[in-house]
């Protein structure tokens, strides 16, 4: 048994050799961490120790989003196991794959697989299977004469299944995608923001464009470049109420009164892009991670450059918070809409987090 004194020493030293041997909970934040957690060291009076993660959760603590105590301790064997399962899915996605069959393949219980898979990849097994099928469908739509044939060859059991998922996976219906996006209608509005001119573009399924520039002309050119085959028009006044809600949510997010943005998006994405983008949406408001931490977090530690490319191809700023990814040296790194905007976004988020902590009488731990 590890004494509390020795455990606290390991926390002070961020000793990785103790990862997995115990966990510590922080009363002021409500989270539990591994000893090597990179977050600022808590006060000793606020810390309690637990032999297992289950013990910590039984006391009401939730897993830390920085060190991810359930997912990785150094090179967690679970990451390798899930990576192998992802490869299996990519090779067999056109077959019938159930949660039980995948659990048997991974040697886990269905419950444990569901939890671990999402922790490593950021998506559920079902979402990963569908993303693989959508990738195959995209390629097949360019080659097959029949949309229906392409749908079934990709592993979907029916046309309706694809059209139900088109808004969140394909970015448009199969027929629309096959035609290169022709006749897809995108409405746009430009508004002033603390970061300069901001353009919001949307289809009837959700946001497909949210970007910054110095002028409306530049934004419109960027929109046409992103969607060259679409029908693009300015949204007439009065704006629909749903669109007004999106504008309000974005303004509240920029002001710091709405830390989480949960807006519908209509984006084309590969499996890898979707995995990275979903992971980014789980980085806490006011926090940052390096490109290598993101790569390791999705179970692809060697894909650092691919993670950077996924960030660079993001079309909806803030909703997919790629500004929270920085270089491992601590430098901000690049940002599609300018380094000053990235710095401003991070400064705003950190300032709001600091204000909230000071107002509640707590201090950074």
The rounded mean pLDDT for the chain is 78
Task: Report cis status (omega within 30 of 0) of the bond before 238.
Answer: yes
Closest by CA position to 210, among listed 242, 179, 166, 251: 251
Domain ranges of the chain: 4-63, 76-177, 185-254, 271-359
Q: What class is the 76-177 domain?
A: mainly alpha
**pTM (whole model) above 0.75:** no
pLDDT per residue as tens digits for the range 142-194: 454 454 444 444 444 444 444 444 444 434 444 454 444 556 788 999 988 88
pLDDT tens digits in sequence order for the chain, 365 residues long: 578 898 999 899 888 778 878 899 999 888 999 998 888 888 999 999 998 887 888 888 988 888 888 765 444 567 677 878 888 888 887 788 899 999 888 888 888 888 888 766 667 888 788 777 766 665 554 454 454 444 444 444 444 444 444 444 434 444 454 444 556 788 999 988 888 899 999 887 788 899 999 999 999 999 988 888 888 999 888 888 888 888 888 888 887 777 777 788 877 777 788 888 888 888 888 888 889 888 888 878 888 899 999 999 899 999 999 999 988 777 888 888 999 999 999 888 877 644 443 343 332 22
Please return the burial class of 151, using the count of CB atoms within 10 Å of its CB with bins 0-12, 13-18 and 19+: buried
Cα 187–chain centre separation = 25
What angle (nearest 5°) sits at the alpha carbon of residue 264, between those of residues 259 and 267? 115
Residues whose CB is less than 8 angstroms from the CB of residue 145 and which lie 6 or more positions away in sequence, other chains included: none
Please identify every residue annotated as catalytic. Answer: 33, 322
Please return the burial class of 237, using the count of CB atoms within 10 Å of its CB with bins 0-12, 13-18 and 19+: exposed
Closest by CA position to 28, among listed 39, 13, 38: 39
CATH architecture, domain defined by 271-359: Orthogonal Bundle (1.10)
Q: What class is the 4-63 domain?
A: alpha beta
Closest by CA position to 194, among listed 253, 123, 117: 253
CATH topology agreement for domains 4-63 and 271-359: no
169 neighbors 131 (Cβ within 8 angstroms): yes
- The DSSP bridge pattern shows strands 47-50 and 23-26 to be antiparallel
CATH number of 185-254: 3.30.160.70
pLDDT per residue as tens digits for the range 315-335: 999 999 999 998 877 788 888
């Amino acid at each position: 048994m590890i004494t509390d004194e020795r455990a606290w020493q390991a926390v002070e030293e961020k000793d990785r050799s103790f990862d997995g041997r115990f966990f510590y909970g922080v009363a002021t934040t409500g989270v539990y961490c591994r000893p090597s957690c990179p977050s600022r060291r808590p006060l000793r009076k606020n810390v309690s120790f637990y032999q297992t993660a289950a013990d910590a959760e039984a006391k009401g603590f939730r897993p830390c989003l920085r060190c991810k105590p359930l997912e990785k301790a150094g090179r967690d064997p679970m990451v390798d196991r899930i990576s192998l399962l992802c490869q299996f899915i990519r090779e067999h996605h056109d077959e019938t794959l159930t949660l039980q069959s995948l659990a048997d393949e991974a040697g886990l219980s269905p419950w444990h697989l569901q939890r671990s898979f999402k922790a490593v990849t950021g998506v559920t097994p079902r979402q990963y299977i569908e993303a693989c099928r959508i990738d195959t469908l995209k390629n097949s739509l360019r080659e097959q004469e029949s949309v229906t044939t392409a749908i079934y060859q990709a592993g979907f059991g029916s046309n309706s299944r694809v059209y139900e998922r088109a808004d969140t996976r394909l970015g448009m219906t199969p027929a629309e995608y096959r035609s290169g996006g022709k006749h897809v209608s995108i409405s746009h509005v430009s508004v002033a923001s603390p970061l300069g001119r901001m353009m919001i573009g949307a289809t009837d399924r959700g946001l497909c464009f949210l970007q910054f520039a110095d002028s409306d002309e530049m934004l419109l050119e960027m929109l046409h470049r992103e969607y060259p085959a679409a029908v693009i028009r300015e949204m007439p006044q009065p704006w629909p109420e749903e669109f007004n809600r999106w504008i309000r949510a974005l303004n509240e997010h920029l002001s710091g009164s709405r830390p989480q943005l949960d807006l519908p998006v209509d984006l084309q994405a590969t499996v890898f892009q979707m995995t990275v983008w979903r992971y980014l949406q789980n980085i806490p408001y006011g926090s940052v991670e390096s490109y290598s931490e993101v790569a390791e977090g999705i179970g692809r530690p060697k894909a650092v450059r691919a993670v950077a490319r996924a960030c660079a191809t993001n079309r909806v700023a803030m909703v997919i918070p790629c500004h929270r990814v920085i270089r491992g040296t601590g430098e901000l790194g690049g940002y599609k809409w300018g380094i000053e905007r990235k710095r401003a976004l991070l400064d705003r988020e950190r300032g709001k987090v600091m204000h909230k902590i000071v107002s509640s009488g707590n201090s950074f731990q």
